[in-house]
Amino acid sequence: MTSLPLRLSLVLVAVLFVASPSIAEADSAMEARRSMLDRPGSLVIAGGSGLGDEIFGAFRDLAGFGPASVVVIPTASDRADREDYDQTLIRQWRARGFEWVTVLHTRDREEADTEAFASAIARTDAVWFGGGQQSRLAQSYLGTKVEAELHKLLERGGVVGGSSAGAAIQSGVMITGGNPEARVGEGIDLLRGCVVDQHFSERNRQPRLRGVIEARPGLLGIGIDERTALVVRVRDGRVVGEVVGAAGVHLMLADGSGEVRETSLDPGDRLDVVAGERIEAAAPASAD
């Protein structure tokens, strides 16, 4: 007959055995976010629909002072296959302050994996992913030289941005569709240790993001409303996200026990991306 203390010890070991994978996943996701401290580049992650000058202005500023270049990738949209669409995009992005605009598009993974195709990213200051269907972006570029050059761009201090599908592709765990239960695929993992959802409040996507987060403790869920962006960059030794635009950004983070903490941020609010917490504004200095 097993003694009571021994049975309690066995139960404790069993509980720790079950719990430890979740704890390990949470630690791994946080370490992934922390690794962005070693990368000087920035991200602009927009929720779609009617982005204002404030968002495009922030993106342009992050491309650097003086004349700047941008590579625009419209592959998520079926309009990208139209012969006249390149000129439309070039006009739009010149009006947003970029002197040199290159439109990069293919649906052929083999072409995307050539140095000749990806070299435009090696020479640019900024890359922007347009909206549409994020699965099209993954099908064309995941695991190719295009993906490799995007990571190199961030390592040399450039900026990558995108709206709607162009936001979703930036996380490693990528929501491809479904609501209230999400379908999940693989993204380019520029925003490490996170998962992005867009058109968030407008399309009631809270249930599907919560489901993804509950299944992956430690992953930081970032839901971005339309006409809004999260600008992510390294500042003062932290990976900081700042809300820019007209609406909100909504955070979900599950700890090792599976409990989900939710936080909503307004325009002007800032986020410590590693911790998944709001950065509280410093209290004004009191007068002497």
Q: What is the pLDDT of residues 119-151, one digit of tens each?
A: 999 999 999 999 999 999 999 999 999 999 999
Q: How confident is the model at residue 185 (pLDDT cuts 50, 70, 90)?
A: very high
Q: How far, in Å, CA of 38 to CA of 240, rounded?
A: 13
**What local confidence, expressed as pLDDT, does residue 255 receive?**
77
**What local confidence, expressed as pLDDT, does residue 18 receive?**
44
Cβ(241)–Cβ(276) below 8 Å: no
Residue 83 located in a structural domain: yes
**What local confidence, expressed as pLDDT, does residue 16 receive?**
42
**Which of the residue ranges 3-12, 34-43, 202-211 would you say has the lowest mean pLDDT?**
3-12
Q: In degrees, to the nearest 5, what angle opens at C-alpha 196 toward C-alphas 221 and 89? A: 160
Residue 261 located in a structural domain: yes
Q: In the chain, what is the straight-line distance between the N-terminal and C-terminal CA atoms, in Å?
A: 74
Q: How confident is the model over 211-223, as a mean pLDDT?
A: 96
Residue 253 located in a structural domain: yes
- Residue 165's closest CA among 193, 139, 201? 139
User: How many angstroms separate the Cα of 66 from the Cα of each of 62, 98, 125?
Assistant: 11, 10, 11
Give me the residues paired with residue 264 across strands. 250
Classified as helix, coil or strand, 253 is strand
Specify the number of domains making up the chain.
1
**pLDDT tens-place string over residues 149-177:** 999 999 999 999 999 999 999 999 999 99
Among this protein's residues, is 164 annotated catalytic? yes
Catalytic annotation, pick one of 199, 226, 242, 250: 199
Determine if the peptide bond prior to 284 is cis (ω within 30°).
Answer: no
**What local confidence, expressed as pLDDT, does residue 193 receive?**
98
- Residue 160's closest CA among 149, 176, 172? 149
Tell me which residue range forms the domain holding 56: 24-275
Strand 42-46 to 228-235 pairing: antiparallel
Strand 42-46 to 159-163 pairing: parallel
**What local confidence, expressed as pLDDT, does residue 13 receive?**
41
Q: How confident is the model at residue 6 (pLDDT cuts 50, 70, 90)?
A: very low
Classified as helix, coil or strand, 107 is coil
**What local confidence, expressed as pLDDT, does residue 8 receive?**
43
Residue 202 located in a structural domain: yes
pTM for this predicted structure: 0.90
Catalytic annotation, pick one of 31, 155, 181, 259: 181
Strand 173-177 to 220-224 pairing: unpaired
Residue 19 located in a structural domain: no
Residue 122 located in a structural domain: yes
**pLDDT tens-place string over residues 253-283:** 997 777 899 999 999 999 999 999 999 876 5
**pLDDT tens-place string over residues 28-87:** 999 999 999 999 999 999 999 999 999 999 999 999 999 999 999 999 999 999 999 999
Residue 110 located in a structural domain: yes
**What local confidence, expressed as pLDDT, does residue 11 receive?**
41
Catalytic annotation, pick one of 77, 135, 140, 164: 164
CATH of the domain at 267: 3.40.50.880
Whether 14 shows a pLDDT value over 60: the answer reads no
Residue 177 located in a structural domain: yes
Whether 7 shows a pLDDT value over 50: the answer reads no
The label of the residue with tokens 């430890």 reads 20
